[in-house]
Every structure is written in structure tokens, then in C-alpha cells.
Amino acid sequence: MPLKPKPKEVFYKGLWGENPVIRQTLGICSTLAVTNMLSNTLVMCIGLIFVSAFSNLTVSFLRNKTPDRVRMMFQVLVISSYVIIVDIFLKAFMPDMSEKLSAYVGLIITNCIIMGRCEAFARQNTPGISFLDGVASGLGYSFVLILVAVIREVMGMGSILGYKVLGDWWTNWTIMVMPPAAFFVLAIIIWVSRNIIYATEEKGNK
């Protein structure tokens, strides 16, 4: 009988050890698309954490009743339903943010992280720990996105959340708000992070 995963271990893996963006290179599309402004990024992250956690919970809850042959269809049904709820909520209570995020919210459905966790974790574990895994994966994704967004917004617009943080001496790097910059910044973050992880693992093995 497989060992039950421990909450602390699940949380660490989702946040850093098996970070979906840094280690598994998942969810890259939205990492590149919404990170030119921190405000957009934060809303996207909250939306993804919600969808990931509740999708995991629902899939886990019905894991013993779900036929294998339709498990992926069911997972897509669950994920898209929660994404539509997020979209409806934004349109009703945060209309300005909904306008800015528009197409990107719908793209949460296609985010590999959510489907990946439903298939790899929620189907084999109990609802409680699956919910935690969804939250942890969402937080791990958010950590990377927020880092990319801070770098891009500060260098590209001299601001954070719209508030000026750099004086008039700073010349905005227009490339930072364009898609290529997202590639460069993300690549550098993945490179640095993996080196830290490998060095830590080597130290642990010695």
C-alpha cells in the first residue's frame, strides 16, 4: 500500500521542490502573457490557486466513482467549470480587472499545471491532501509569476502596482513590457533556481 503523502512534504514540493514552472516547465503560456504588470499577475495567481485547489478537491472526492475511460473528460469539465466561476465573479465584482485579464482567464483551463495535478495527485489521494496540493502548486506558480512581474514592471515602467518606485533618472526599458522580455527573465529565473536546487541536493547527498 503506497505511503500517504505528508502535508508538509506536499506543500514544500508544490512551492519549491517540484515547482511547476521552475522544475516541470508547466504553465509557461500565462507566465509569459500576464507578467508585464504585477496587478494583472496577482489576480491571475489568485484565480489559478482557486481553480487548482477546488479542481483537485472535486476530482479527489469522486476519484473512486470516476470511470477510467472518461477521467480526462471529467477533469476538463471540473476545471472549466471553476474557471467560468472565476470569470463570472470577476465580471460581477471586479469589472475593471476582468477587462484587463479577459482572454487570459479562459486560458487557465488549458494550464497544464491544473490538469497535471488532477491526474498525477488528486486521482490517487484523499480530498484534504489533494486540496493542499492544489494550493501548493498554485502558490509555486504564483511565486515565479510574481517574481517575473516585479522585474518586468520595475524595469519596463519604473513602477510596482502602478506606484512609481524609480525616479525620473530611470529610462523605461520598453522591451520589458514586450513578450521577448518574459522569455529572457523566466529563463534566467529557471536557470538560477535550478542551480540552487541542484547545489542543495548535492550538499544533502554528501
Partner 1 sequence: MKDKIYAIVFMFVTSSVFVAALSVANMATRDIRSKNQLVKKYRAILKMCDLADDNTDTDTIIDIYKASVKPRKHGDIELYHIYDKAKNKIAIVHELNGQGFWGPIMGYVALEPSGEKIIGVSITKHDETPGLGQRIEEEWFLVQFEDVNINKEVEGKIINFLKSGEAEKPGYMKAITGATRTSDSMEKILNDSLKEFREAFKKDPEGSEVNNAS
Positions that interact with partner 1 (CB under 8 A):
36-37, 40, 62, 65-67, 69-70, 73-74, 77-78, 81, 84-85, 88-89, 91-93, 95, 99-100, 102-103, 156-157, 174, 177-178
Number of H helices, E strands in the chain: 8, 2
Distance CA 98, CA 105 (A): 8
Q: Nearer to partner 1 by C-beta: 1 or 103?
A: 103
DSSP 8-class letter at 121: I
Minimum CB distance to partner 1 smaller for 78 or for 132:
78
Q: Can you read off the three cell numbers belonging to residue 145?
A: 509569476
Nearer to partner 1 among residue 93 and residue 169 (C-beta):
93
Using CA atoms, how far apart are residues 75 and 114, in angstroms rounded to an integer?
A: 9
What is the nearest approach in angstroms of partner 1 to the Cβ of residue 135?
Answer: 22
In the complex, minimum distance from the CB of residue 100 to partner 1, in angstroms, rounded to a whole number: 7
Shortest reach from residue 79's CB to partner 1, in Å:
11
Q: What is the DSSP letter of 191?
A: H
For residue 18, the SS3 value is coil
Pairwise CA distance, residues 165 & 184, whole Å: 22
Q: Residue 81 or residue 110: which is nearer to partner 1 going by CB?
A: 81
Q: How far is the CB of 189 from partner 1 (least distance, A)?
A: 19
3-class secondary-structure state, position 163: strand
- 84 within 8 A of 106, measured Cβ to Cβ: no
Q: Are 86 and 108 in contact (CB under 8 A)?
A: yes
Shortest distance in whole angstroms from residue 95 CB to partner 1 = 4
Of 3 and 103, which has the nearer Cβ to partner 1?
Answer: 103
